Structure 1
Amino acid sequence: MRIRHNHLLGIIAALLVAAIYINLNTPGVRQWASWVETRLGLDLAGGIRVVLQLQKVPGVTIDADTQEQVVKVIRNRIDALGISEPVIQPKGRDQVVVEISESKKEKGQPLDKRQAIQALQKTAKLEFIYLANVKSDRNPFAPYEYDGTRFIERATKRTLSDEEVRKKILYADPKNIILTGRNLKPGAAQASINSQTGEVETLLELDREGTIKFREFTREHIGDLLAIVYDGKVESAPRIQSEIPDGHARITHGQGTDLKVAVEQAALLNSGALPVPLKVVAQTEVEPTLGADSIRSAKIAGIIGLGAVLVFMLGYYLLPGFLADLALLFYALLSFAIFKLIHVTLTLPGIAGYILSIGMAVDANILIFERLKEELKSGKTLHAAIDAGFKRAFTSIFDSNMSTIITCIILGWFGTGPIRGFALVLAIGVLVSMFTAITVTRTILHVVVNWPWAQQEWLFGVRRSWVARENKPGLNIIGRRNLYFALSGLVIVPGLIFLLMGGLKKGIDFTGGTLLEFNFTQPVSAGQIRRALAPAKLEDVSIQLAGATRGTEVFIKTKELDEPTKQKVVSLIQSRFKGATLRSVDTVGGVISRELTRKAFLSVLFASIAIVVYLSFRFAPGGFVSGLKYGVTAVLALIHDVLVVTGIFAIMGKFAGWQIDSLFVTAMLTIIGFSVHDTIVIFDRIRENLKNRTKDDVFEDIVNRSVNQTLARSINTSLTVILTLLALVIWGGPVIRLFVVAMLIGVITGTYSSIFNASPLLVVWEQIAAKRRRAALVAATTAKRPADVRLRPTPSPSASQKPATEVPSTPAAAVAGDGASAAASSAAKSASKPKPKPKKAKSKRRF
């Protein structure tokens, strides 16, 4: 056993060295530093700001619908090109603002984000055009011919220009356009290399309507030429050899072409075509959207919060807590190394997911240590107690983390931008936390306890607990469930009233607003601008500096302003900063579109359904229906947490001006992840106690005992997350304060609902199910039966003739719990004997 632990310790040490090697960019790493660099998003590192102008074309009206379609296509393209979490919003009536992060590809050299801007401008218009006036087998006398690279006028042997090709051949007759990009199957375009010819290709697949048209056309035009046109340029013009029935086509780019060309083309085709061309009218580098001051404050607050967690773990769990601190530092190094290796772009939503994963990493250790203390109390030796504690805690860790990973997969599949970033970071963090808790902490514990100084009882805090004391009953949480339900109602009902009255107060990320661009003669900071605008009492102000100008060009975005307020803002800026000039004033749309909101809602909905299904199978000793109560009550507790947070923000939005923005969506996702994780830990203890129940155990008592057994773990886990969030609230700065407050409220209410709502709801569910079982059993036993016939004995001369009497049947008593134990046979025996009417006895529900 000792040899096995030493081998694991060697593996852990090797991973630690590798993680430090990657994170610190040591000399051996610098030669490939661009490959493992930390990528930061627009909100943390800044990037490029581009203003795209919609160009007029015949037959297309430039209006709000066209502008919205352009925004949608650009967002799809950016997602397809792998650019993380951009800012895309309409500006005015005919412009779109795009902001994307700009990491570094090599030291001093920008990544190809600028090339991405060129890709965004491409119309990506795909057409299949019949070359009716080009020489072919079926049309040998056509005026033009195609030699594979150019179109030639046969009469003069002159090569046609691109404009002439479009006018005289491609678009001479609109009827020759057989198919367009709208006939492609969504998301089916992909890049490939032909295994036979070695040529780079873009493979296409048509939808049902396109397949039928393509099959009919190729059947009727064998021998003709069909051009595949992309953005007005003929990519290829193959000769139709036979009917093509399956709806598959390909664009051949030729040998020597970089595969990236086909990859980009496939991404653009899958994203859809732009309705109009776009032109870059302005481009500049911008500083982080959160502001350099806010980022510095958040870093300091994060360090303080992490230090508080380390001190708490050491102070409460002593030696195991110290080892958990080491495992937590190992977790931080290893997870960041993975972020670098797989090119994760860190943004504020991603950091929120990382904070949540740290909480889950600490929670896994807390679960193990609480189990370890229980095993030590039972008299086990140190090594046996460590193994037993880890074994008993594993199911809880596995189920809670699996539910989180399932949620992350669904959020990543249905979500976009920030939601995907949050899901990716959280999923990686959860997987790494399972490894560090189950392998790292366990191995170090086994190695350390071999030393005599580490075998002291006081070093393990065996007798230490928040609430449960030896020989004292725990809290009667389940018995007072109506009180806790009422407390939840006191918070939720007022919130619902305010939600119905006016709803949440939406910030400019949802509604859009006014954008003011100023030029300054001297560099300024976001903090200086914010202080200068304080007398105007503007709501939801976003300040962004142009990085290339070193703070002399500033973008101020706020709620839509009327003319007097605009003049006041300009006056405040110009009076505070001499020489400041207003460059432009415009109206911008919201960053969070209806589509993003819809996808976020669908993500949460499908994640909730998946959690119900997973828990119903995992907690189903009596079948799926029996386990359904665990999944449903966990989601009800989740809904409780969402209603509490949204309700409080609705109330505070009315009285204190609190607004919701894109970060609020991230906060809600964090709350959902924490709530489900916390609830499953308690459910796992209930499941374990149910397996070990005796015949005298009542379901309500088992649930109450389980909640008390996990109470210290619930408090300690929440406390570690709360310490970090409190540090961010106090020292993190005003920009992210409401975002952190939302998470703080969510963590507190998530802990409350797991203890005081989810578990009591299980008991209520079981009571209702037990009543239904009793009613069904009584109904079955009291149903009318056909009268039976008895043999009549031959009467003796001396016997008196007495009428025969039927013995009435007695319904069996039903009992509550996960199983019924009726005593129908004993009731039947006692019914045949006359006896006094029994007194009504009180009975408990048993399993």
Structure 2
Amino acid sequence: MYKNLQWKIYLILGLVVVSLWMILPLNEKINLGLDLQGGMHLVLRVDTSKIAPEARAKASERALEVIRNRIDEFGVKEPSIQLQGVDNIVVQLPGVTDRDRALGLLARTAHLEFKMVSDDPEKLKEAISGAAPEGYELLYLDAEPFLVKAAPALTGEAVVDARVDFDQSAFGQPYVGFTLNAQGARDFARCTRENIGQRLAIVLDGKVRSAPVIQTEIPSGQGRITGRFSQQEAYDLAIVLRVGALPAPVVVEEERTVGPLLGQDSIKHGIRATIIGALLVFIFVLAYYLLAGLIANVALILNFIFTLAGLAYFHATLTLPGIAGLILTLGMAVDANVLINERIREELRAGRPLRTAISNGYNKAFTAIFDSNLTTLIAAGLLFWFGTGPIRGFAITLTIGLLSSMFTAIFVTRTIFEFLLSTDRLKKLSMVELIKQPKLDYIKIRYICYALSILIIATGAYAYFSRGQGMYGVDFTGGQLQEYSFQNSINIESIRNSLGSAGLGDAAIQKISGKNEVIIKTANDTVKKVNDQFDKDFPDNKYQLMRIEHVGPVVGKDLKSKALKSLFYSLIGILIYVGFRFRHFNFAAAGVIALLHDVAVTAGFLALTGREMSLTVVAALLTIAGYSINDTIVIYDRIREVIRTMPKVGLKDVINIAVNQTMSRTILTTLCTLLVVLALFFYGGEVINVFSFCLLIGFMSGIYSTVFIASPLILVWEGFNSGKNKK
């Protein structure tokens, strides 16, 4: 055995052992995203417009510190709190599904003030009529009005401890006791000494919590806040007082809450889709390529292991779109193996010895594999740059998977072939050939194809723009989406009547086919109102809140802008790279027009089938752009080769020859990828159904546009340039 072969085998075995050590056991080594394990994703904006200009510079950093301390006190396992931009804080809380409590804990300013209450009834009447005396403000305790001094006698900054206790004289009612620092204790003692017999309002975030009469001086620096607290509310109030107030109010700009039931359901569907997709690909590749297919399947298994190891090494989070990326990578990894095997088949057909045929097959396939994967990586990189949450998880998984697939397809499979050849175990390499090389004239029918594409795109565009704002989901328009799962069957009319009773008659309602689940879309946060109404109207039909997605108008506009930028920059990146690699702008321009064609066709079918544009759809469109160019690059690579080997053949014939020579590869790779996408579509679950639908349409459009749009457009562009030169 050759030495250079030995180190290759040891390297592969070493990587396998290390990778298995890194990923096993899976439930401990792979971090699951919030959409799989349940939890909350929040984007909080620090509203610095309501504080003094000199305090704005450090407000976001101080707010981050306060929120982190509150979460630590709350006891969340492995939270993520990060500052994003100037005034946004991104918070991820795994396992937390009590949204009301979490939002109350994080978004509450907790600005505590002690204010003296005026006992002048005339001044109180003036304030109630809308003319509060100077230096006073009108506040309420439930419905009871209090006229208090605007300037506080003491603030919560003096609080050093807060705890929950129970008032035995009030049937164990919980209250929050607090302790002040030394200076606060002196100020509190002076205040109570000078105002015996008067009422002191304890004000939290602009609302009176209690207003006891001062009976005597309180020198201890200790007090209590009473009110109609539940035990949990009292504990949460103690946390925020103990940690301290936020320096400025915070606004929830984006919220994505996933219940544990939906997370478990997503994992189940994801695993099922992965197994079915993998089996379909394995069986097809093995049946078609025989021994070469078995070697390719070994590479696919290793690719799966290496991808998971990459996720574990970088401490990346596996999200539901990430699982989709994992499955999709499996289909796309076959692309390289098919390219290599088809090249080997061509070499064997040309009469080359087996060893030479294998060597030439790998060498000739390399540039096409490298170029096609790099263009997909451009799209994945932009997805990560502009994406958020689970979409970034998809981009990371896709990137690691593509890099791993290049290693396994090019290095691992070649090493196995070299091992079999060096040990004389491989004498003959047989492959099934169901798809013979055609001899069609694609250029001849190009105008029919152009007309067909224009008709399809125009129909889709009409449907798209006719829907107006209804074409966009809450990611881009802002608003709230709530998904409910009922124990028994439920019809839309009952839901509509129930929401109408709650004053939400304008809510959009969608029933999930085959399930007792409904999706409700409203302009504002209506969770409590909907829950209360459902409790009243459906007492015998238990329900669970599966997920909540809330996007503010500012974030919605920002996400829309980022989505357009990501699509634009991906097309520009692909245009520049293809133009650079093939040294012809007409190649690049034709390829990008074909990509735009696929994106437009997919968006059109999205509109025609009543689906919405969302961040998940944008991820699918970018994936389509990255994958669709793969087929185009393979044909471009073959055109370049034919031009070099047949310099006297005209461009029209060169294009037809190249497309015919690569047709079997184009059909086979698209078929393998469609097998995994179909598994995603039928078995991946409702959450990523629209994602897999887009891929299904986009990939089918991709094979059509590569053959009938991109390739003939090179000739059109060449003719256009020739005409300009003649002039």
TM range (shorter): 0.5 to 0.7
Q: Is the 8 A contact 1:516 1:582 kept in 2?
A: no
What whole-Å deviation, never above 9, does each CA across 1:235-268 have from its counterpart, x for those lacking one?
Answer: xxxxxxxxxxxxxxxxxxxxxxxxxxxxxxxxxx
- The within-5 A match list for 1:793-804 is none
- The within-5 A match list for 1:293-308 is 293-308=265-280
- The within-5 A match list for 1:30-179 is 37-48=29-40, 100-102=92-94
Gaps of 5+ in 2: 72-77, 97-101, 112-180, 188-245, 497-506
2:397 corresponds to: 425
CA distance in 2, matches of 1:563, 1:103: 21
Q: Aligned residues: percent identity? A: 37
Residue 4 (structure 1) aligned with residue 4 (structure 2): yes
Which of 612, 618, 642 is 1:659 aligned to?
Answer: 612
Q: Is the 8 A contact 2:598 2:698 kept in 1?
A: yes
- Per the TM alignment, residue 279 of structure 1 is displaced from its structure 2 partner at its CA by 9.7
- Secondary structure (helix, strand or coil) at the match of 1:456 reads coil
- Per the TM alignment, residue 289 of structure 1 is displaced from its structure 2 partner at its CA by 8.2
> 1:160–1:351: structure 2 CA closer, same or farther, 3 Å change rule?
same
Matched pairs, number: 555
- Secondary structure (helix, strand or coil) at the match of 1:373 reads helix
- Per the TM alignment, residue 750 of structure 1 is displaced from its structure 2 partner at its CA by 1.4
Residue 345 (structure 1) aligned with residue 317 (structure 2): yes
- The within-5 A match list for 1:186-585 is 276-278=248-250, 287-288=259-260, 290-450=262-422, 454-457=426-429, 459-461=430-432, 464-468=433-437, 474-503=439-468, 505-513=471-479, 526=485, 528=487, 531=490, 536=495, 539=508, 558-560=520-522, 574=536, 576-578=538-540
Letter in 2 for 1:603: S
Q: Is the 8 A contact 2:474 2:550 kept in 1?
A: no
- Secondary structure (helix, strand or coil) at the match of 2:671 reads helix
CA distance in 2, matches of 1:44, 1:692: 53
> 1:341–1:566: structure 2 CA closer, same or farther, 3 Å change rule?
closer
Letter in 2 for 1:639: L
CA distance in 2, matches of 1:163, 1:669: 64
- The structure whose residues are more often helix, as a share, is 2
- Per the TM alignment, residue 717 of structure 1 is displaced from its structure 2 partner at its CA by 1.1
> 1:555–1:439: structure 2 CA closer, same or farther, 3 Å change rule?
same
CA distance in 2, matches of 1:556, 1:100: 26
CA distance in 2, matches of 1:290, 1:691: 56
CA distance in 2, matches of 1:345, 1:161: 46
The RMSD of aligned alpha carbons is 4.7
2:607 corresponds to: 650
- Secondary structure (helix, strand or coil) at the match of 1:559 reads strand
Gaps of 5+ in 1: 27-32, 61-65, 89-95, 105-113, 124-157, 165-273, 518-524, 544-553, 621-626, 777-847
CA distance in 1, matches of 2:572, 2:481: 41
Which of 593, 598, 622 is 1:636 aligned to?
Answer: 593
Higher alpha-carbon Rg: 1
Letter in 1 for 2:431: F
Q: Is the 8 A contact 1:686 1:703 kept in 2?
A: yes
- Per the TM alignment, residue 52 of structure 1 is displaced from its structure 2 partner at its CA by 7.7
Which of 690, 695, 718 is 2:670 aligned to?
Answer: 718
CA distance in 2, matches of 1:530, 1:326: 46
CA distance in 2, matches of 1:610, 1:53: 32
Higher relative CO (Cα under 8 Å, sequence separation at least 6) belongs to: 2
- Secondary structure (helix, strand or coil) at the match of 1:593 reads helix
> 1:10–1:289: structure 2 CA closer, same or farther, 3 Å change rule?
same
> 1:331–1:495: structure 2 CA closer, same or farther, 3 Å change rule?
same
Q: Is the 8 A contact 2:617 2:691 kept in 1?
A: yes
Letter in 2 for 1:652: T
- Per the TM alignment, residue 644 of structure 1 is displaced from its structure 2 partner at its CA by 0.3
Which of 631, 636, 648 is 1:683 aligned to?
Answer: 636
> 1:333–1:55: structure 2 CA closer, same or farther, 3 Å change rule?
closer
CA distance in 1, matches of 2:394, 2:186: 48
- Secondary structure (helix, strand or coil) at the match of 1:703 reads helix
- Secondary structure (helix, strand or coil) at the match of 2:443 reads coil
> 1:587–1:666: structure 2 CA closer, same or farther, 3 Å change rule?
closer
Letter in 2 for 1:645: T
- Per the TM alignment, residue 59 of structure 1 is displaced from its structure 2 partner at its CA by 6.3
1:251 corresponds to: none
Q: Is the 8 A contact 1:541 1:558 kept in 2?
A: yes
- Secondary structure (helix, strand or coil) at the match of 2:444 reads coil
Letter in 2 for 1:651: L
CA distance in 2, matches of 1:284, 1:434: 35
1:149 corresponds to: none
- Per the TM alignment, residue 563 of structure 1 is displaced from its structure 2 partner at its CA by 14
- Per the TM alignment, residue 396 of structure 1 is displaced from its structure 2 partner at its CA by 0.5
- Secondary structure (helix, strand or coil) at the match of 2:558 reads helix
1:16 corresponds to: 16
Q: Is the 8 A contact 1:2 1:447 kept in 2?
A: no
Letter in 1 for 2:601: V
> 1:541–1:17: structure 2 CA closer, same or farther, 3 Å change rule?
farther
Q: Relative to structure 2, which stretch is displaced further, 505-514 or 664-673?
A: 505-514
Which of 550, 567, 570 is 1:604 aligned to?
Answer: 567
- Secondary structure (helix, strand or coil) at the match of 1:558 reads strand
2:692 corresponds to: 740
CA distance in 2, matches of 1:756, 1:703: 11
Letter in 2 for 1:630: F
2:120 corresponds to: none
CA distance in 1, matches of 2:517, 2:446: 53
> 1:529–1:342: structure 2 CA closer, same or farther, 3 Å change rule?
farther
> 1:295–1:563: structure 2 CA closer, same or farther, 3 Å change rule?
closer
Q: Is the 8 A contact 1:84 1:345 kept in 2?
A: no
- Per the TM alignment, residue 569 of structure 1 is displaced from its structure 2 partner at its CA by 8.7
- Secondary structure (helix, strand or coil) at the match of 1:710 reads helix
- Secondary structure (helix, strand or coil) at the match of 1:475 reads coil
> 1:563–1:685: structure 2 CA closer, same or farther, 3 Å change rule?
closer
- Per the TM alignment, residue 452 of structure 1 is displaced from its structure 2 partner at its CA by 5.9
> 1:337–1:531: structure 2 CA closer, same or farther, 3 Å change rule?
farther
- Secondary structure (helix, strand or coil) at the match of 2:522 reads coil
CA distance in 1, matches of 2:399, 2:110: 35
> 1:505–1:566: structure 2 CA closer, same or farther, 3 Å change rule?
farther
- Per the TM alignment, residue 753 of structure 1 is displaced from its structure 2 partner at its CA by 1.1
What whole-Å deviation, never above 9, does each CA across 1:329-358 have from its counterpart, x for those lacking one?
Answer: 000001101100111111123333333332
The normalised TM-score by structure 2 is 0.66
